[in-house]
């Protein structure tokens, strides 16, 4: 009786647990699997990059500064209001004694409102120069955004191919381990029938242990590359990445250095940014130098006050008045402020010019270096492919000769090691070619 009751309790508990279990919730807890091509990695990196967001914010600030400078030659309208309490005074009238007409009454409460308009009509190029300089800064900020995006594209491309290279390295080492494990089985079988000495088995086991260490290192390299690509692309660390690309590539021969350098000078956004800033400093220098020239402005206003000081005699009543005028201001001496400001802008201009010249010098070296890297990678891929083919054939021949008892176990291990080294070298050469192509594209501003 008691056993049947406990059985029913167990069944009810399992039914309740099944009802509470949500298959969709369980599947939602599984880490997502994301397939990435190199274009997808670049797009994700550009979308999630904080650096790109920062320079875009600076560009927006430069755009707002252009609007501010452009509005400087437009009229400004202000509303003024005030209240002043004064001491009591003896009213003044005509005649002074027993006056019949009060000219200056005792009005301690003074109220004033005014709508004021100020409009700089002509500033001798001061406002226009500042506006042109602001537009040049906006152009430079836009080029900085393009530069940041180019850097992010290169970083994402580098991280992507680093992971592809690490995956390929793991595959190569695993295949090498498969070959050594098969060879170890053959050696053990030959030892069992007395065809080889015990040290041959130990030699193969030692080589297999060394390969396991190498496999651990390649797995660690792959995990680091996986984490780096997730960092660049903003993918959660718990997600599973599957890279959709083949590492094998023989890049086309690059154009001559002169053609690449011409393309780089036209395409590098860093250079365009420096040129825009240099032009902006020329405009800013003209605007600052105009500080010693006169300014003509239009002023107007409408007053509604109690009492209105523009109306005589004063009266303790709300009265209106208006005025319109043209003002001319010419700073004859400012203690050298404008001269110092002009010298400061000129020095900044020289600094940008020198920076541009330095950039051109480094650009020529960078383009030449990236082209040489690409050409070296092309040659390395061809040579490494030939080396792999030769090592694979040598390993096959040595393995057959070993089974026939014509060569020693050491020669088989050496042949397998040579094949592994050749395949890893080919992997490195292919990765170097991918990276060299990406860096050359970045150097010439593609």
Q: Which two tokens stand for residue 265?
A: 């000078």
Domain ranges of the chain: 32-74+124-292+335-443, 76-122+295-329
Q: What predicted TM-score, i.e. pTM, was given to this entire model?
A: 0.78
**Cα–Cα–Cα angle for 253, 257, 259, nearest 5°?**
90
Which of these, 391, 388, 396, lies nearest to 427 by C-alpha position?
A: 388
Homologous superfamily (CATH) of 32-74+124-292+335-443 is Outer membrane efflux proteins (OEP) (1.20.1600.10)
pLDDT tens digits, one per residue of 394-434: 888 888 887 777 777 778 778 888 888 888 888 888 888 88
pLDDT tens digits, one per residue of 337-374: 889 989 999 999 999 999 999 999 999 999 999 889 88
What integer pLDDT is reported at residue 192 of this predicted model? Answer: 83
Q: Are 387 and 422 in contact (CB under 8 A)?
A: yes
What integer pLDDT is reported at residue 29 of this predicted model? Answer: 62
Q: How confident is the model at residue 25 (pLDDT cuts 50, 70, 90)?
A: very low
Peptide linkage before 423 cis (omega within 30 of 0) = no
Query: Which residue(s) pair with 325 in the sheet?
Result: 299
Q: How confident is the model at residue 117 (pLDDT cuts 50, 70, 90)?
A: very high
Region 329-340 average pLDDT: 87
pLDDT tens digits, one per residue of 37-92: 888 999 999 999 999 999 999 999 999 999 998 888 889 999 999 999 999 988 88
pLDDT at 285 over 70: yes
């Amino acid at each position: 009786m008691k056993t049947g009751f406990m059985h029913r309790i167990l069944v009810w508990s399992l039914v309740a647990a099944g009802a509470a279990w949500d298959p969709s919730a369980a599947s939602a807890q599984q880490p997502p699997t994301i397939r990435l091509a190199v274009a997808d990695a670049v797009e994700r990196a550009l979308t999630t990059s904080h650096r790109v967001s920062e320079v875009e914010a600076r560009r927006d600030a430069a755009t707002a500064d252009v609007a501010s400078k452009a509005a400087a030659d437009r009229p400004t309208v202000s509303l003024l209001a005030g209240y002043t309490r004064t001491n009591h005074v003896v009213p003044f009238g005509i005649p002074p004694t027993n006056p019949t007409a009060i000219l200056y009454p005792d009005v301690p409460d003074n109220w004033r409102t005014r709508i004021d308009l100020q409009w700089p009509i002509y500033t001798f190029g001061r406002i226009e120069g500042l506006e042109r300089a602001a537009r040049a800064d906006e152009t430079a900020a836009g080029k900085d955004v393009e530069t940041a995006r180019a850097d992010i594209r290169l970083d994402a491309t580098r991280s992507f191919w680093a992971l592809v290279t690490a995956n390929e390295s793991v595959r190569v080492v695993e295949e090498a381990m498969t070959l050594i494990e098969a060879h170890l089985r053959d050696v053990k079988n030959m030892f069992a029938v007395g065809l080889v000495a015990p040290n041959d088995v130990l030699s193969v086991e030692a080589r297999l242990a060394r390969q396991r260490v190498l496999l651990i290192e390649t797995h660690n390299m792959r995990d680091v590359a996986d984490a780096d690509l997730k960092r660049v692309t903003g993918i959660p660390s718990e997600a599973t990445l599957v890279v959709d690309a083949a590492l094998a590539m023989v890049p086309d021969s690059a154009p001559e250095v002169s053609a690449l350098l011409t393309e780089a000078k036209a395409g590098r956004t860093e250079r365009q940014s420096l040129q825009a800033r240099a032009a902006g400093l020329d405009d800013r220098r003209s605007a600052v130098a105009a500080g010693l020239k006169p300014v003509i402005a239009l002023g107007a206003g409408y007053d509604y006050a109690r009492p209105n000081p523009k109306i005589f005699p004063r009266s303790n009543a709300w009265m209106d008045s208006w005025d319109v005028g043209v003002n001319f201001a010419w700073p004859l001496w400012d203690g050298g402020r404008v001269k110092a400001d002009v010298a400061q802008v000129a020095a900044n201009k020289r600094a940008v010019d020198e920076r541009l010249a330095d950039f051109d010098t480094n650009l020529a070296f960078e383009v030449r270096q990236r082209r040489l890297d690409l050409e070296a990678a092309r040659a390395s891929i061809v040579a490494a492919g030939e080396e792999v083919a030769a090592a694979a054939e040598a390993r096959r021949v040595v393995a057959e000769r070993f089974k026939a008892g014509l060569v020693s176990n050491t020669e088989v291990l050496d042949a397998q090691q040579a094949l592994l080294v050749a395949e890893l070298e080919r992997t490195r050469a292919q990765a170097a070619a991918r990276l060299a192509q990406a860096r050359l594209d970045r150097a010439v501003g593609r």
